Amino acid sequence: MKKWNLVIDLARCHDCNDCFLADKDEFVGNDFLPYSAAQPWSGQRWIDIQRKERGQHPIIQVCYLPKPCMHCDDPPCMKKAPRGAIYKREDGLVIIDPVKAKGRPELVDACPYGAVWWNEEAQVAQKCTGCAHLIDAGWTETRCSQVCPTGAIKFYLASDEEMAEIVAAEGLEAYKSELGTKPRVLYKNLYRWESVFVAASVACKDTDECAEGAVLSAIRGGIKAGEGAANNYGEVVVDRLTPGDGYEVTITMDGYKPFTAVVNLDESLNLGLVLLEKV
Amino acid sequence: MAEVVRLTNLTTGGPVHVEVQNGKILRIVPLELDESDGPSWTIEARGRAFTPPRRTTLSPFTVAHKSTIYSPKRILTPLKRVDFDPKGERNIRSRGVSGYEPISWDEALDIVADEIVRAHRELGPAAILTSPGSHHLWGILGYRTSAYYRFMNLVGFTYGEHNPDSWEGWHWGGMHMWGFSHRLGIPEQYDLLEDGLQNTEMIVFWSADPECTGGGIYTAFESTPRRYWFKELGVKMVFIDPYFNHTAGLFSDKWFAPRLGTDVAFGLAIAYTWLTEGTYDKAYVASRTLGFDEWKDYVLGVSDGLPKTPQWAEDECGVPAREIRALAREWAAKKTMLAAGGKGGFGGACRSATGNEWARTMIALSAMQGLGKPGRNIWSTTQGAPCDATFWFPGYNEGGISSDSNTLNGFRLASRLWPDGGLPGNPQHSTEGQTVSRLLIPEAMMHERLKWRGKGFCGSSIESQFQKYEYPAPGYSHVGMYYKYGGSFIGTMTETNRYVRAYREGKIPFVVNQSIWFEGEARFADIILPACTNFERWDIGEWACPTGAGASASDACNHRLIVLQKKCIEPLGESKSDYEIFSLLAGRLGIGDIYTEGGHTELQWVKRLFHASDLPTRISWEAFEKKGYYMVPVPPDRKRTPALRWFAEDRERDTPDLGPKPWEAVGLKGLQTASGKIEFVASSLQRFEQSGAEDPERPAMGPQYMPSWEGHRTEELVTKYPLQLVTPHPRFSFHTMGEGKGSWSDDIKDHRMLVGDHHYWILRLNTRDAEARDIQQGDLIRAFNDRGEVILAAQITERVFPGTVHCYESVADYIPLGEPGHSPDTAGCINILTPKRFVTPTSTGMAPNSCLIQVEKWEEPS
């Protein structure tokens, strides 16, 4: 059967907040029973856009990770809820029943993703419903995917088999996959959130020109973890490195003495200007 | 369940379908096109076919529009300041402090009408000062140029004339190099998307962030897919901006961050590299420009002994010389589009002390690489999509129902609405009447005598910006009443404690504010008239198209849409549409029938506007009313006329632009400049000098680098206030629209920050500057200089470099901690700190991006 899936491309999100605001437009002040009681005017983030900066001026990236309810196929929240208070629909959507789940603030902590919010006035835990009421009415978009201007958020009504093909073709991954909750929200280019880069601006000391073609290698534990060549501005970025210590970075260019440094890459690092000296 | 009705409307941030249930708006979604609309266009380029997504996009403030319609700050009844007695003590010193009490519409209208009569009888014509915010809610009936101008022309007024606040340098500087006064100094953009996709190899975004400012203006994210197309074609994208902006975040291959105010030095060093390496279009420069050799001698240092080398520029702008050379070489080697500002024109760099020369630099560099030749132009990816320019629908610049000739090129609508003639023009709203620059409104309210040049938007000719003005104008009195429309200037103009103090310490005995929300300047009125939004009244409009100075701007959208803006809900509380408010006031003044032209309802005007346009040639009123919009298709056999190609090839202009006018060119060839060429020595500025004017900051030969009058070279001030402040247009709101109001934008993490129980405005500073001041992420901080102080929340970031701080301008509210105009503001009016000085002494524009401040940690007084 066709099931509910959401795919979010981190390389395409630039924090415009259209998704966050469309969600509020839909749910603030509107009850959609039996799926949801109205979201309060302010304070909840059913799709919560998180921000991370990578690198340092002038070589930086800014990564945003929009985080709705993951609609896990193995949802931890369901296990901690009394029978029927949280349930999973056939199409995969996880629903907190706004009546049966009343008075249970502990459900907020049951989600390892922090995607459940407490409505003090209505005394109910609540979250993204996946626009269940709209899907029921025949919508082919969620409110967040409908307004996403960059195509970062895509909604798929697809069978598990069809989805498996998309996952393989697009390289989709679960956020915090170590939790093992089998989310139905998957991410593309998740490396931007989870891995680090090392970068430099490389120049030749003798000519004071940008060192186009200089090669930066990152080696860890004797194994080459990544490599890249400088562009015409002398900038080189080696990405998709596992965060951690003990990276040996070398920058080489024919006719010049190599540059070497051992660096900590718990966070992305711009080495800044590296001046290569003539051999 | 009650029936859900689906209606249409249009906003400054895109077209919408509105679903209404039980008289309440249920949801607002992007307007959805259907199969009965015409086909979308296709561009063929480099072996591929590009067709836009068949949907519309919305700016964030439009997605959140429901929260401003149902805002807790809506004004629901007429209000009177509690200690204002029109027949007794007016207590104007307590404006902004005293509270308000609800009064009836009858009482409110009687007071306002009596005051209009008083001002007229006591002070003669034009006794009412009035000014609206830059933009009104969309719709050519309700727009400020329409219903408001119609009323003000009938009662007489002194208009607070708008400065071109988004493109100052293009207007006061660029116009002298290439004309385009009919576009207020910014260039035509026809068919540049196709040209770019077919030919361009690199795009340099200089002071441009189209992902942030509504794709240039009004057009939401319509241009986003185009930038992905360029990326897919391998077109390189370089960004020059003191802030690593949001478009750069998606697309940047290289980010340059010159120190604020030094972009001109950067640009001159690029020119120097081209001159010394011989990599510029010598034939083009020889045949299409004037005065190049004189300027070349300046760049090379022949005439002033100071070669503008990359090393010289590095010392000024902080960008390494080798990287400047690398950019110059790549630019010369590749067909390059210069995306100067979000709209092709615009850009924060033009709103500064060096703004005139920056705009000239953009034109100069483009000229050196063959401006107008295939793939080489000034274009920001935001306009110039395929469009049927032969189909006419009026934009707000045509004046709507006002028939006001001051709304720029109102050349078609009035004659179609009134074949026998509309309202006679009011000479008060003309060069012969009395006017005040918006930037001088506070001084006019203080009854100072003022002199300046240029009446705001100078579209009629290049020379019109040299015209001298004074206040009071000869034979006129000082103004004796202020009819303010909305509440925006404290957040949007410069050195804005002035605007606050003028209410309390000035000489205006009566202030009425017609506003939707209780915010900003509305808090300083004696009487407040509650207006409603465009979702509560009838209107009609075309997406993103102002016409006139913004001719053909709807080609920024992927689908050209004309929308019936249906009344979706009844006006909230006792609020009324602007048209109705003016109708009622006009009635009390004995001119009701003239104002409403015999009792027209808004829907009747909308129908007349429909019939005055080209719409009836394509769709009946009945069908239009049912569907709610019409999409203007692009004819497949449309003639392509890429912008300025005619100029590059020295042909008669073939674009459908509104100028140069026949008397401004010779034989329909050439630009509006006297030579018809791009002028490195501006003949208009030479004539200005010859007429006896002196303005050393606005030299005839240019672009020239003159360090900012408030910047890194003003050493005494830097010692005191070491941080340079950049204040771009906001990202999630539009001027003050969608900002504050208790709306959902408060909850956007990068818009405001919740500290305690207040959503503070954000200032962004570099890690090192924060460390030096012991400022942590989310700390409250005090930003200050001699002009005032603002309390903000700190965001620590590498998106700005040390020494520069970033804070969007245009907050909607003003919430002082103590005495208004003399105490710190907590709403985030950063423009309290920006200088009131004009771009140059004779360029009556604002320069907020030349501003030095200091920042320190702030503890809330307990």
ipTM, 2 dp: 0.98
Residues 150-169 of A with CB under 8 A from B: 150-151
**Chain-wide mean pLDDT for chain B?**
96
Choosing from B165, B209, B526, B813, which is the catalytic residue? B165
Which residue's entry shows tokens 């010598």? B282
**pLDDT on residue B344:** 85
Six-digit token pair at B214?
Answer: 């509504």
Given pLDDT bands bounded at 50, 70 and 90, which one contains residue B426?
confident
Residues of A within 8 A of B255 (CB-CB) are 58-60
Q: Is the pLDDT of residue A154 over 90?
A: yes
Q: Is the pLDDT of residue B1 over 80?
A: no
Indicate the residue of A20, A57, A146 with minimum beta-carbon distance to B30: A146
Indicate the residue of B26, B322, B767 with minimum beta-carbon distance to A210: B322
**pLDDT on residue B636:** 86
**pLDDT on residue B861:** 78
pLDDT above 90: percentage of residues in chain B = 93
Q: Please tell me the distance from the alpha carbon of residue B745 to that of residue B731, in angstroms, as a whole number.
A: 10
**Chain-wide mean pLDDT for chain A?**
98
Cross-chain Cβ contact B257/A149 below 8 Å: no
Element of type H or E holding B273 = helix B263-277
Element of type H or E holding B249 = helix B246-251
Residues 225-264 of B with CB under 8 A from A: 228, 244, 246-247, 249-250, 253-257
Cross-chain Cβ contact A18/B330 below 8 Å: no
Q: What are phi and psi of B140, to 5 degrees?
A: -80, -5
B165 is catalytic: yes
Given pLDDT bands bounded at 50, 70 and 90, which one contains residue B14?
very high
User: What residues contact residue A137 under an 8 Å CB cut-off, 6+ apart?
Assistant: none
Q: Is the pLDDT of residue B407 over 80?
A: no
**pLDDT on residue B427:** 84
Residues of A within 8 A of B211 (CB-CB) are 14, 16
CA angle B531, A26, B545 (to 5 degrees): 50
Residues of A within 8 A of B60 (CB-CB) are 16-18, 21
DSSP B701: B
Element of type H or E holding A170 = helix A160-170
CA distance to partner chain A, nearest, from residue B167 (Å)? 24
Cross-chain Cβ contact B58/A25 below 8 Å: no
CA-atom Rg of chain B in angstroms: 26
Residues of B within 8 A of A21 (CB-CB) are 60, 63-64, 744-745, 748
- Could you tell me where the DSSP H helices lie in B600-664? 602-612, 621-627, 645-648
Six-digit token pair at B367?
Answer: 């000229």
CA distance to partner chain A, nearest, from residue B222 (Å)? 8
Q: pLDDT by residue (tens digit) across A244-262?
A: 999 999 999 999 999 999 9
**pLDDT on residue B487:** 81
CA distance to partner chain A, nearest, from residue B324 (Å)? 9
**CB contact B799 to A (< 8 Å):** yes
Cross-chain Cβ contact A57/B801 below 8 Å: yes
Q: pLDDT by residue (tens digit) across B324-342?
A: 999 999 999 999 999 999 9
Which residue's entry shows tokens 């009443």? B481
**CB contact B766 to A (< 8 Å):** yes
Alpha carbon distance, N-terminus to C-terminus of chain B: 51
Q: pLDDT by residue (tens digit) across B662-704?
A: 999 998 899 999 999 999 999 999 999 999 999 999 999 999 9
**CB contact A31 to B (< 8 Å):** no
Please list the residues that pair with B5 across neighbouring strands.
B20
pTM above threshold 0.90: yes
Residues of A within 8 A of B30 (CB-CB) are 146-147
Q: pLDDT by residue (tens digit) across B88-119?
A: 999 999 999 999 999 999 999 999 999 999 99
Cross-chain Cβ contact A28/B744 below 8 Å: yes
Please list the residues that pair with B679 across neighbouring strands.
B290
Q: Please tell me the distance from the alpha carbon of residue B371 to that of residue B364, in angstroms, as a whole number.
A: 9
Choosing from B149, B280, B396, B595, which is the catalytic residue? B396
Q: Please tell me the distance from the alpha carbon of residue B524 to that of residue B540, in angstroms, as a whole number.
A: 32
B148 is catalytic: no
B526 is catalytic: no
Scored b (16 or more CB within 10 A) or e, B673-696 reads bbebbbbbbbbbbbebeeeeeeee
Cross-chain Cβ contact B326/A232 below 8 Å: yes
Q: How many residues does chain A have?
A: 279
Indicate the residue of A14, A57, A231 with minimum beta-carbon distance to B246: A14
Q: What is the mean pLDDT of residues B208-212?
A: 96
Q: Please tell me the distance from the alpha carbon of residue A187 to that of residue B759, in angstroms, as a whole number.
A: 31
Residues 368-427 of B with CB under 8 A from A: none
Q: Please tell me the distance from the alpha carbon of residue B118 to that of residue B444, in angstroms, as a whole number.
A: 19
Given pLDDT bands bounded at 50, 70 and 90, which one contains residue B408?
low
Residues of A within 8 A of B209 (CB-CB) are none
For A10, the closest chain B residue by CA position comes to: B250
Cross-chain Cβ contact B747/A234 below 8 Å: no
CA distance to partner chain A, nearest, from residue B750 (Å)? 8
Indicate the residue of B63, B249, B802 with minimum beta-carbon distance to A62: B249
**CB contact B11 to A (< 8 Å):** no
Cβ atoms of B838 and B847 closer than 8 Å: yes
For B252, the closest chain A residue by CA position comes to: A61
Which residue's entry shows tokens 């401004």? B664
Which residue's entry shows tokens 């241009």? B223
Long-range contacts, stretch A72-79, CB < 8 angstroms, 24+ apart: A72/A181, A72/A182, A72/A183, A72/A184, A73/A181, A73/A182, A73/A183, A73/A184, A74/A180, A74/A181, A74/A182, A75/A181, A76/A110, A76/A111, A76/A112, A76/A179, A76/A181, A77/A107, A77/A110, A77/A111, A77/A116, A79/A110
**pLDDT on residue B410:** 57
Cross-chain Cβ contact A58/B257 below 8 Å: yes
For B730, the closest chain A residue by CA position comes to: A16
Among B312, B739, B822, CA closest to B517:
B739
**CB contact B746 to A (< 8 Å):** yes
**CB contact A178 to B (< 8 Å):** no
For A211, the closest chain B residue by CA position comes to: B322
CA distance to partner chain B, nearest, from residue A152 (Å)? 11
Q: pLDDT by residue (tens digit) across B646-658?
A: 999 999 999 999 9
Q: Is the pLDDT of residue B353 over 90?
A: yes
Choosing from B65, B120, B135, B182, which is the catalytic residue? B135
Residues of A within 8 A of B751 (CB-CB) are 17
**pLDDT on residue B83:** 98
Q: What is the DSSP string of B805-825?
A: EE-----S---BSSSTTTS-B
How far is the CA of B250 from the CAs of A12, B138, B498, in angstroms? 7, 30, 39
pLDDT above 70: percentage of residues in chain B = 99
Alpha carbon distance, N-terminus to C-terminus of chain A: 66
Residues of A within 8 A of B67 (CB-CB) are 24-25, 28, 41
CA atoms within 13 A on the CB side of B319: 32
